[in-house]
Chains A and B, each alone.
Chain A
Amino acid sequence: MCSSTHPPSAGLSFAAAALLAVGGTAAVADEPPDQEQLPAVVQESSIENSVELDDDLLDDSLDSDASFDNDFADLDIEALMSIEVTSVAGVKQSLLRTPAAMYVITAEDIRRSGHRNVAEALRIVPGMAVASVSANQWAISARGFNSLFATNMLVLVDGRVVYDPIWSGVPWELQDLLLEDIDRIEVVRGPGATLWGANAVNGVINITSKSAHDTHGAYISGGVGTEERAFGKFRYGGALDDDASYRIWGKYHLCDTSVDAAGDSRHDDWDFYRGGFRLDFGDVTDAAFTIQADAYHTDTVGESRRVAIPGHMTFQTIVDDAWFSGGHVLARMTREYADDGGWSLQAYYDRLNARRYGPLMNRDTADIDFRHHFVPLDTHEIVWGLGARYSRARIDPSPTLTFRDLDRETWLLSGFVQDTIALMPDRLSLMVGSKFLHNDFTGFEIQPSARLSWTPDDRQTLWGAVSRAVRTPARINDDMVLTGAFVDVGLMGGGPPAGIFAPVQLVGDDGTDAEELIACELGYRAHVSDEITIDIAAFYNIYDNIIEMPPTGGTADNTASAESFGVEIASTWQAAPNWRVTGAYSLVEILAHTRFGDENFEDGDPHHQLNIRSMLDITDDLELNVAGYYVDGVSRYDVPAYFRLDVGLTWHLNENMELSVWGQNLLDPAHREYGDDIVQDMRAEVQRGVYAQLTWRF
């Protein structure tokens, strides 16, 4: 039993909280009149009075199993004693009502998955395609269109957008946090653009770390392994005074290389140093503040990339060290009022210095974001917000890769409003809203959505949604110039070799428009029994104006369109108090209409994915965690289907110490998961690995 709870905490989870709160709106407003407003005279006999109080209020309130604002407060003790607090297989009630394909993983889920960084941990999310492209790169997307530069997923870490506006996609190697201090990772498959903005086309990943109030104490962990060569991390947190807490943390890891088909090293081993702090202060009933900062640095991040050689018609694969350093500082003020809403104001600055794929660049981002939610009428809850983001990128080009504008500033202005309407309190709820944004690439964009959820009883919810989302062009679509090869002009003209070589270039075009999506979704979530939950989501997506980069050179243009459909099924089974089993299956099919090859979009994702995980407490001190994954082949990159098995044993040596041993990718010595055909030579294979980890908390 434990009383420490992490309510969808301050700040950016705001939006998530709003999404989660759908069912709760009516109840918040429905609060019965204060029965305890006794006249001052009766003060001396408060006990006797209380005995009479609201004895019979309970029966109807009990049934509604409220998970929103505390209407348990109106129950008397007998009623409280009869409330079931066991979650149905660990799923929060509020999640049941969410009208989106949302899945939440916690630090505990990650710990029991054995995954060692955020990117890998997403493998446990239903419908998420996670593929290791090299030892330090990942392609991650939901609902198709995956690639190393997966354009359609928006990722936020503590309210900070980590989507890369230059390359598009997310540099996952830099999103390595102290997993222990992650409060939750909310993954929404499908458009989340109304709340989160552009590029939240196929999904949103919202990573929230714990409040410093919840991380008092020391945590030290370290380990060694064959693939995870060495890692160490620590956190120390405490209270400064009654309303202020802090933590400082740091981590280091060194990962081994992947191999090529012959089993030789691909020199993509890498290391990473990161450290930071977080301060949370402010009064419970007054304004709360969060200040956090972190910094990171790499010594080596091996990459091999393909370069064209001037004067020759051949490629050369060169092995190079990419490197990164950077950091951010963020401040947030949150004010929550008991029943009439609240607001938050957040600002951050983020700096990235990188050399990746050749050019050296640095990027400064400054962002300010305001959100306010309130309840103007009993049946309405409104969230709205305004944001502005400034970004400046300075680029030192490489011979093969450059941008037309080497020092460029961009602005993004946005606003959104969303109303959650309780059509039938607790039962039927409608969420309508839109995001409006102005960006320097395509101008004004509007992204509306409507979501309806019906909760016929407290064990099931049926929901449906129609949304529009856009993906705005990244710099690679807009003003990149990539020299892919050199071709003999004579040969190119169909004649004999002329001995004169011309570059074949892939160039961005500043006339590209935003990609558009209209998404239709339908979902059903149920607590089949106290032990079993099931979550099904189906989608039909219509994409238009998809930007194509011609693979054989040419100019980017909005020449493709596509339809995709699929289904994701996730289930949790609490087989016994000490044994939990989860399973997930997903299907994605894409029909593309392109200029340069439909298969580029149609076959870039595993069509079928399946995972089954078992979390068993053998004794109070011994845990056995097993995860099996099946990932269908990706024919675009000639990647065959693979099975993956991870097995981990964790032994709680005493109250403070924990030893775990994990075997990962146990079924084969090495396998490929993905590829990339633009800038790199990617045929990396992920190897079987074993690691041991010792953790000490005190």
Chain B
Amino acid sequence: MTRLLLLILVLLVAVSPLPAAGAEPSPGIDKAKAAKVKAAYLYNFTKFTKWPDEKFADDRSSKRKAPIIIGVLGDQSFSRIVGKTIKGRTVGGRSIEVRNITYIAPPKGRRDDPAPRERFAKRVAECHLLYISDSQEEHLDDILHLVDDENILTVSDIEEFARIGGMVGFVTEQGKIIFEVCRDEIEDTRIKVSSKLLKLARIVKRKDPAHKTRGATP
């Protein structure tokens, strides 16, 4: 009986679609601390970024302001940390909302239900800032394509993110987290990022669109 059960489980594995690879932990990095620092960065980024008005569904009659939505794609633990970081904080009178988002690939065949993908795309589109976990690297092209016209500030710690189509990429250098910004990517949208933020960033240029797939990092 147990053997049969195991066989069924193995078969299930064999027919399932391929999911994202988990990122290998790097030795020497205090992951919990790094996550908190990154979460604090995200909060700071919202303070230095201005989105076009139509990104906010403000209710003008009641003067109630719509929240700034930070989407975290592919890392629920991190979304919790961001949630704790921004809890009770506001930026420009707006509250901040954190949304944990899981990647859903486009339907492959006609029989696939397109609804989950549409819901996913809508949840992404509603974000003001989208943090893309490095576990999502293989879906990056698709994700960047999704956010293309949505005026979303994209942030990630995928290697060379700001050089391969993203806006803000975290980089760990000499034990510290700094960030790279691709101005061209931001200028393609109607998002405005404060010059103070840009001054602190390492400004990088977009590479040739076809980016290489990265190997394992030490």
Contacts and interface: CB of A to CB of B under 8 A. Distances in A.
Interface string A546-573: 0000000000000000000000000000
Interface string A341-380: 0000000000000000000000000000000000000000
Given A284-B76, A338-B88, A577-B28, A242 B102 contact: yes
Contacts of B35: 3, 5
B157 A3 contact: yes
B31 A4 contact: yes
A67 to B, nearest CB: 6
A252 B6 contact: yes
Contacts of A75: 40
B91 interface: yes
A93 interface: yes
Nearest to A337: B87
Given A50-B194, A621-B216, A43 B21 contact: no
Interface in B189-213: 192, 194, 196-197, 200
Interface in A91-134: 92-94, 106, 108
B57 interface: no
Given A70-B84, A218-B19, A250 B9 contact: yes
Contact of A217 (B20, B34, B172): B20
Contacts of B3: 273
Contacts of A74: 40
Interface residues of B, number: 92
Nearest to A285: B83
Contacts of B146: none
A1 B170 contact: yes
A352 to B, nearest CB: 15
Contacts of B77: 4-7, 9, 211, 213-214
A84 B175 contact: yes
Contacts of A45: 92
A34 B22 contact: no
Given A84-B176, A85-B29, A655-B216, A70 B40 contact: yes
Which residue, A5, A42, A49, A217, has most C-beta atoms of chain B within 10 A?
Answer: A5
A660 to B, nearest CB: 15
A698 B18 contact: yes
A93 to B, nearest CB: 7
A224 B29 CA distance: 34
Contacts of B83: 284-285, 338
A53 B22 CA distance: 37
A307 B31 CA distance: 54
Nearest to A251: B6
A627 B74 CA distance: 36
Contacts of B162: none
Residue from B24, B26, B33, B104 whose CB has the most chain A CB atoms within 10 Å: B33
Given A4-B133, A84-B175, A87-B28, A295 B47 contact: no
Contact of B176 (A2, A7, A73, A83): A83
A659 interface: no
A406 interface: no
B12 A39 contact: no
Given A85-B37, A275-B5, A656-B21, A43 B93 contact: yes
A250 B30 CA distance: 31
Interface string B146-177: 00000000000101000000000011100111
A85 B175 contact: yes
B13 A50 contact: no
Given A80-B41, A620-B215, A86 B29 contact: yes
B217 interface: yes
Given A50-B48, A93-B30, A241-B102, A250 B10 contact: yes
Contacts of A655: 21, 215-216
A51 B39 contact: no
Interface in B37-90: 37-41, 43-44, 47-50, 63, 65, 75-81, 83-90
A72 B78 contact: no
Given A1-B170, A51-B194, A53-B47, A338 B18 contact: no
Contacts of A617: 27, 218
A93 B29 CA distance: 12
Nearest to A240: B102
Contact of B33 (A76, A85, A273, A296): A85
Contacts of A273: 2-3, 6
A1 B157 contact: yes
Contacts of A296: 2
B13 A87 contact: no
Contacts of A245: 76, 102
Contacts of A6: 31, 77
A511 to B, nearest CB: 42
B125 interface: no
Given A2-B134, A86-B175, A621-B216, A216 B29 contact: no
A582 to B, nearest CB: 12
Contacts of B76: 211, 213-214, 243, 245, 284
A47 B87 CA distance: 20
Contact of A85 (B90, B91, B159, B172): B172
B33 A217 contact: no
Given A46-B50, A82-B176, A218-B13, A5 B200 contact: no
29 contacts: A1-B170, A2-B31, A6-B31, A34-B88, A40-B65, A44-B92, A50-B194, A67-B33, A72-B40, A73-B86, A77-B41, A77-B197, A83-B33, A83-B177, A85-B29, A89-B28, A90-B28, A92-B32, A93-B33, A218-B18, A234-B9, A234-B10, A243-B100, A285-B83, A297-B2, A574-B28, A620-B218, A655-B21, A655-B215
5 tightest CB-CB pairs across the interface, nearest first?
A: A46-B92, A87-B30, A86-B175, A72-B40, A50-B47
Interface of B: 1-3, 5-6, 9-10, 12-13, 16, 18-41, 43-44, 47-50, 63, 65, 75-81, 83-94, 98, 100-104, 116, 120, 123, 133-135, 157, 159, 170-172, 175-179, 192, 194, 196-197, 200, 215-218
Given A47-B192, A85-B29, A85-B37, 7 more contacts: A2-B134, A3-B23, A72-B85, A85-B172, A90-B27, A339-B87, A578-B218
